[in-house]
Amino acid sequence: MTPLQTFYKSLLIGTVISALLAACATSPLGRKQLILMPESQMQQMGATSYQQIKQSRTLSNNARDQRYVRCVASAITDAMGGGNWEVNLFADDTANAFALPGGKIGVHTGLLDVAQTPDQLAAVLGHEVGHVIAHHSNERMSIQFATQTGGQLLQALSGEPSPEKQLLFAALGIGAQVGVQLPFSRKHESESDLIGLELMAKAGFDPRASVTLWQNMAKQGGEKPPEFLSTHPSNETRIQELSQNMNKALPLYRKAKQSGETPNCQR
């Protein structure tokens, strides 16, 4: 490498590093994050992916269950300050649920066999919404970006569908090809658990149901494990961490109940 090339290389590295430092953000729990994607772009990607999911899957035609799922979801989203969330129950026997940037929530009918009460369903939705408000997809994408060179980065953002774009969609947690779901890291999982716990308690759902939910998931883990388990391992650490934070969540739950915050979601 000539001295000039070396100079340009260090200049490029310097530019990238300052861009990365400028992009440091903080998660709701105070963890430092690398956030490179504009939030508007994340929301657009979430909305596009959701559209694809709606086109390729069937909505449940059980109006009562649709109402029930929307009732629990809106109590959770209200607890985090509202906003416009689209919530749909999909006719799908696999036990799964997801939330996407851009205010999109999807629940599979199969989940209602595992999350058997409104409080347990609230635990799943609180967790999923937790990933969205902590910008976990953005962080995951940003890390992928940071490991690519500048040229690939620009290419990935614009133009035709490409393997890079596929990777970006996969970072959303669902994939451009519907069905591809990447697990979040343990760090993201733990953060979403705690955000979800707080949200469900504030919404007036019994936070202790989160522990029951994960026990239910683990119980069904035998022959035909819930799909949710493939991206959300139910382990002792998760249950332990939730239990350890119950002393913070229970007062929020009692306060919500005292102020008449009691979601009446019937199936």
Residues designated catalytic: 128
Q: Which residues contact 155 (CB under 8 A, 6 or more apart)?
A: 162, 164
Nearer to Zn ion, 126 or 256 (CB): 126
Distance CA 198, CA 79 (A): 9
CA Rg, the chain, in Å? 20
Binding residues for Zn ion, rule: CB under 5 A, are: 184, 189, 192
Shortest distance in whole angstroms from residue 219 CB to Zn ion: 19
Shortest distance in whole angstroms from residue 228 CB to Zn ion: 9
Nearer to Zn ion, 88 or 192 (CB): 192
Nearer to Zn ion, 91 or 229 (CB): 229
Question: In which region does residue 62 sit, left (phi positive, over 0), alpha (psi from -120 to 50) or beta (all else)?
Answer: beta
Shortest distance in whole angstroms from residue 218 CB to Zn ion: 15
Nearer to Zn ion, 138 or 261 (CB): 138
Shortest distance in whole angstroms from residue 263 CB to Zn ion: 22
Pick the closest to residue 101 from 71, 74, 133 (CA basis). 133
